[in-house]
Amino acid sequence: MKKLINQPEDFVRESLEGMAAAHSHLIQVHFEPTFVCRQDVPLVNKVAIISGGGSGHEPMHTGFVGMGMLDAACPGEVFTSPTPDQMLAATQKVDGGAGVLYIVKNYSGDVMNFEMALEMARCEGIRVRNIVIDDDVAVKDSLYTQGRRGVGTTVLAEKICGAAAERGYPLDKLVELCRRVNLNGRSMGLALTSCIVPVRATPTFTLGDREMEVGIGIHGEPGRQRLPLKTANEIAEMLTLSILEDSGYTRIMREWDEEQDGWIDIEATDFPFQPGSNILVFVNGMGGTPISELYIIYRRVAQICSQHGLNIVRNLIGSYITSLEMEGCSVTFLQVDDEMMDLWDAPVHTPTWRWGV
Amino acid sequence: MKKLINQPEDFVRESLEGMAAAHSHLIQVHFEPTFVCRQDVPLVNKVAIISGGGSGHEPMHTGFVGMGMLDAACPGEVFTSPTPDQMLAATQKVDGGAGVLYIVKNYSGDVMNFEMALEMARCEGIRVRNIVIDDDVAVKDSLYTQGRRGVGTTVLAEKICGAAAERGYPLDKLVELCRRVNLNGRSMGLALTSCIVPVRATPTFTLGDREMEVGIGIHGEPGRQRLPLKTANEIAEMLTLSILEDSGYTRIMREWDEEQDGWIDIEATDFPFQPGSNILVFVNGMGGTPISELYIIYRRVAQICSQHGLNIVRNLIGSYITSLEMEGCSVTFLQVDDEMMDLWDAPVHTPTWRWGV
Amino acid sequence: MNQEQILRWLQRFATTIDKNKEYLTQLDAAIGDADHGINMERGLKKLQAQLPTLEDKDIGTTLKSASMTLISSIGGASGPLYGTFFLRASAAIAGKHELDEHDMLTLLQAGLQGIVERGKTQLGDKTMVDALYPAVLAFAQAVQDGKLMQEAMQLTVAACEQGMISTKAMQAKKGRASYLGDRSIGHQDPGATSLYLMLKSLYESV
Amino acid sequence: MNQEQILRWLQRFATTIDKNKEYLTQLDAAIGDADHGINMERGLKKLQAQLPTLEDKDIGTTLKSASMTLISSIGGASGPLYGTFFLRASAAIAGKHELDEHDMLTLLQAGLQGIVERGKTQLGDKTMVDALYPAVLAFAQAVQDGKLMQEAMQLTVAACEQGMISTKAMQAKKGRASYLGDRSIGHQDPGATSLYLMLKSLYESV
Ligand SMILES: Nc1ncnc2c1ncn2[C@@H]1O[C@H](COP(=O)(O)OP(=O)(O)O)[C@@H](O)[C@H]1O
Ligand SMILES: Nc1ncnc2c1ncn2[C@@H]1O[C@H](COP(=O)(O)OP(=O)(O)O)[C@@H](O)[C@H]1O
Ligand SMILES: [Mg+2]
Ligand SMILES: [Mg+2]
Ligand SMILES: [Mg+2]
Ligand SMILES: [Mg+2]
């Protein structure tokens, strides 16, 4: 294992300390329990947005804390969900009276820990709602699995909902928007190499020199399929077609119902990708892949989109939701309406993104 | 070799085609000869800035073409200088009558090719000046080497001078500013792994599992020293102290003199880093290192700066001047005055950076 | 079973996890993300450090404290699950200083119920439930058969081990392993394994 | 030496580079960035494709065209250096259809001068100059000694080879290799090697 680290156990803390030193005008970093929040919280009468998950996906989520995006992020150990006490502390810190939205990726750990946190926050009298992002088309069925994982769409939902919260959307409308983003977003990813969890010091899986792992999540877990290494064009085609040819996926989402003051199950189905649609294409690097290669993937993805009559109206190319130093990429398509596009373009100022200001 | 590529020979072209598809509102990509320029060139009465060099360092330089930064970038083959015909074509395309500045990294190939291009552009009646960036403290002497290489300071010079050109600085003042940035900037880098040039398909050098290569350039060439792998803190200390303890370096810079209409040699010495100085710290990833590790490096660099009485007034953390998928990092310190800081903060809109707009 | 034995259980659980940290992580590497041993060890080390402060507490309070510690330190999927197990268990025997066989059954059933609700898990999903459920069933049967704590626990652990082993043949339908489809078959579930270690520690402490 | 021989030279230079592409790149990998063979081959393949269009041109025009092609296709450090060599050489014998020994000396001297100026190189810097300089010296001596083209060239190539080999022992002071300090010692300079191949091709074409 070759990494720029000190003691493996200190990886998360020291990386956060580095962020604190670098971005003290934008964010606060708290320890015990660990969370990162905007410098200017709580914002009175603004809905606060909190996300979180295992570390190792940087810049997500900590790099997205700031004006126009997240109010707080709760980083766990590497690839391990954060714990409810972190989320509760963050919730208490950022709540400005208009309620809090948890944007949660669909991993059993994240989901359960955020659910516990929500229950605790309710006990403290704070309004909280949750949306689970599950956009990974590598997972075909929701009946015999934990359901689709939350991947690339999470980044887009955080930007879009963050802008909406900044504009003053109330909690209910924000929940509705976030759900809509999720149902319009689909992703598919692939690894060329494994990553190494610092405290483990050996690769999580081993791939032959001419192999790739297709349909991966973002935790270094093995994917759905191991295939012989293909060219960038073939890879772009495979990922794009997995997204476009996926038939509407139905899942049962567990959301907090404020009226019943309890959990309810909501059934929801993806919106299919229609020719003529406006889409945002996100080509994401897994952490160890240089951006030059991502452009080669984007090149072919754009060609395929145009063949399928899809209009790419926005794009995002870079390593934003990563698995440590893993080489590989994922592709996310988000079908956008005017409202989403407008919110995408809205000002943002975080350690990772800054535009419009 | 595992990369997201098609044919290795098509790497540069296809990556540029991807950029063209992604950023058509910002940039134009030309082939035969190859160069990338702003969508809105030529800008009448604005000095145009052109940079370039081998490919494989993305996002530098192509990702820095746009408002407030470069007017054009000339990418060569991977790690190979571009050719004078590229630079000449770019020069003719972007010149708006106020002249052109070439920002050149000190590599024999880049320097000689840009010199030839400058001579050719002069024949076409275009005013061109050149500044060579040589900021790499790994190189101790200028007498027995090609002199210090141009590394991290190049990125900073492009941002600062790009903003100045946007504000209407005339060519002479811009040359003076760029020279001043260079003389106030110092860098030192290190590799944990080698990169692989696509057409070669094997690593340029091999490092043992517990070794690192210190004092590297950005072309996958071996560095000055091979050492046992160290912790992030030790690495940060080593890089930072190399920069701070470096005594003033004197070089002879070959610049074009417009009055004599010929080359002249200018001797110039670095400005030492004084306690109390304001500095911009740039922790750069080499392409395959995740940003979480860069923050661990930054953490220690910031501690050392404060021990040395240096005020970090701006920072930049990310992979901006890379060597394909190499793992490792470099650290750049730039001593900034108010003018430079103001220009650093000025609006920019390129494929890589966008702020203030 | 008294408070001293409960503390001995938690102590033993902690040392067993410590000893099996690598093993659990290896199991998780095969079908998950290679951190189950690390997660459990992080939580149980915290719990272990806390044990001395619990010596004069009742069992309910002890298990509640354990729950809070595990919830806030394990993380991942197993954190809320083990946390919920102890939280529900503590509520079920609140205030007690001594547990008879019936109390123990109540405790185990409440814990199981908590995990099932939190995880929305069914038997056969290849999770810790597949180890815990047959164990609780065996304990209930033993109690019904009039067995005393020691013997009932022995039967319970045996059933738990069987349950744990049975996860090998299952295809995961919950947790990360579910994403592997039938590639998860043939590997023993890490959570079922740590759960077996928990009950084995309990048995060894009575 | 006539135009046909000049074209044969360039043709032979191209095929030799093609054959030695890997070798030159290996040399560059040791002390540079592992692309010298690739760069040279890219340029000479372009030149080779262009040769048929040059058949009825004079030698000056031919070398000027070669120069432009090499400048715009080799890139790196070697592009402007080889480009300048041919540019200056072409200017020195502009308009000629036939070169005698004195013309050839003029050509070589002009080319050498061009490389030295462009590269700001001195003898002993471990560059292509260390192969070219002794070669030009040997040619000048041979011409002074009244040797004819063939024999003069033979002596030149031998001196060039010696020069090329001598770079092994040198510490690089120009180009990328200079950054290695004394780690560059013991490796033959790739540019000196390709330059030797160029003169060897010239000899084989007279
Ligand atoms: N929904 C669930 N219900 C019950 N147990 C589950 C569920 N999801 C996961 N588990 C258990 O958690 C174990 C994995 O725990 P751990 O590796 O610590 O967490 P993570 O999967 O978040 O990395 C699995 O082996 C399984 O026994
Ligand atoms: N300043 C210089 N003067 C003369 N020759 C040089 C100079 N710099 C480099 N060279 C020659 O160029 C060769 C390297 O060429 P090449 O590998 O194609 O370019 P690059 O170094 O840009 O990758 C060296 O082996 C050396 O002979
Ligand atoms: Mg985990
Ligand atoms: Mg090169
Ligand atoms: Mg796990
Ligand atoms: Mg080279």
Return d(Cα A319, Cα A328) in angstroms, integer. 10
The complex's ipTM? Answer: 0.91
What are the pLDDT digits (tens) for C130-184?
Answer: 999 999 999 999 999 999 999 999 999 999 999 999 999 999 999 888 888 888 9
Chain D: partners with 3+ C-beta pairs within 8 Å: B
Query: How many CB atoms within 10 Å of residue D162?
Result: 15
Cβ neighbours for D19, distance < 8 A, ≥ 6 positions apart: none
Distance from CA of B212 to the nearest CA of A (A): 9
- Residue B341 has a pLDDT of 98
Cβ neighbours for D4, distance < 8 A, ≥ 6 positions apart: none
Can you list the alpha helix ranges (DSSP code H) found in chain A? 11-22, 84-94, 108-123, 153-166, 171-183, 232-244, 291-307, 338-345
Q: Which two tokens mark D204?
A: 């084989």
pLDDT tier for residue A188 given thresholds of 50, 70 and 90:
very high
Preferred mutation among A55, A83, A110, A224 to probe C, highest tally of C CBs within 10 A:
A83
Is the Cβ atom of C175 under 6 angstroms away from ligand 1? yes
- Residue A149 has a pLDDT of 93
Token pair 């030799």 is found at D16
Residue type present at position C22: E
- Residue A176 has a pLDDT of 98
∠ Cα B166 B172 B177 (to 5°): 65
Contact residues on chain C for A34, CB-CB shorter than 8 A? none
Token pair 């661990």 is found at B296
Mean pLDDT for all residues in chain D:
96
Q: Edge to edge, what strands does the sheet with B311-318 contain? A: B225-228, B211-214, B185-191, B328-335, B278-285, B311-318
- Residue A146 has a pLDDT of 86
What are the pLDDT digits (tens) for B79-112?
Answer: 999 999 999 999 999 999 999 999 999 999 999 9
Q: Name the nearest CA neighbour of B290 among A214, A106, A218.
A: A218
Interval D138-155 mean pLDDT: 97
pLDDT tier for residue C7 given thresholds of 50, 70 and 90:
very high
Ligand whose nearest atom lies closest to the CA of B76 = 4
- Residue C180 has a pLDDT of 82
Return d(Cα A71, Cα A66) in angstroms, integer. 6
Residue type present at position C70: L
Q: Which two tokens mark D41?
A: 């081959």
pLDDT at D6 over 80: yes
Report how far apart the first and last C-alpha atoms of chain A are (Å, whole number): 40
Q: Which two tokens mark B186?
A: 């110092």
Residue contact A17–B299, C-beta within 8 A: yes
Cβ neighbours for A59, distance < 8 A, ≥ 6 positions apart: A320, A322, A351, A352, B291
Could you confirm whether domain D3-205 is CATH 1.25.40.340?
yes
Ligand 1 centre to CA of A194 (Å) is 21
Query: How many CB atoms within 10 Å of residue B353?
Result: 22
pLDDT at C91 over 80: yes
Residue nearest to atom 23 of ligand 1 (CA): C76
CB A26 within 8 A of CB A312: no
pLDDT at B280 over 90: yes
- Residue A204 has a pLDDT of 81
Residue in B57, B61, B308, B349 annotated catalytic = B57
Is the Cβ atom of C114 under 6 angstroms away from ligand 1? no
pLDDT at A153 over 80: yes
Interval D120-131 mean pLDDT: 96
Is the Cβ atom of C129 under 6 angstroms away from ligand 1? yes
Q: Which two tokens mark B182?
A: 């260079």
> Residues of D near B (CB-CB distance < 8 A)?
25, 29, 32-35, 38-39, 42, 71-81, 83-84, 118-120, 171-176, 178-181, 183
* C189 CB-side CA count, 13 A: 33
Residue contact A295–B329, C-beta within 8 A: no
Which residues have CB atoms below 5 A from the ion given as ligand 4? B 79-80; D 33, 35, 76
Return d(Cα C28, Cα B124) in angstroms, integer. 68
CB B106 within 8 A of CB B130: no
- Give the pairing type, strands B311-318 and B348-349: unpaired
SS in 3 state form for chain C? CEHHHHHHHHHHHHHHHHHHHHHHHHHHHHHCCCCHHHHHHHHHHHHHHHHHHHCCCCHHHHHHHHHHHHHCCCCCCHHHHHHHHHHHHHHHCCCCCECCHHHHHHHHHHHHHHHHHHHCCCCCCCCCHHHHHHHHHHHHHHHHCCCCHHHHHHHHHHHHHHHHHHHHHCCCCCCHHHHHHHHHCCCCCHHHHHHHHHHHHHHHHC
Is B219 in the active site? yes
Q: Which two tokens mark C169?
A: 């043949």
Paired residues of B227 in beta bridges: B212
Contact residues on chain D for B1, CB-CB shorter than 8 A? none
Whole-Å CA distances, C171 to A147, C84, C176: 14, 25, 12
* Cis peptide preceding B42, ω within 30 of 0: yes
Distance from CA of A4 to the nearest CA of B (A): 5
What are the pLDDT digits (tens) for B201-260?
Answer: 888 888 999 999 999 989 877 777 899 999 999 999 999 999 999 988 999 999 999 999
pLDDT tier for residue B123 given thresholds of 50, 70 and 90:
confident
Report how far apart the first and last C-alpha atoms of chain D are (Å, whole number): 6
Q: Name the nearest CA neighbour of B154 among B190, B189, B119.
A: B189
Residue percentage of chain A with pLDDT more than 90: 91
* Domain range annotation of chain C: 3-205
pTM equals: 0.94
Interval A297-315 mean pLDDT: 98
- Residue D37 has a pLDDT of 96
Contact residues on chain D for B77, CB-CB shorter than 8 A? 35, 38-39, 42, 75
Interval D83-111 mean pLDDT: 96
Residue nearest to atom 15 of ligand 2 (CA): D78
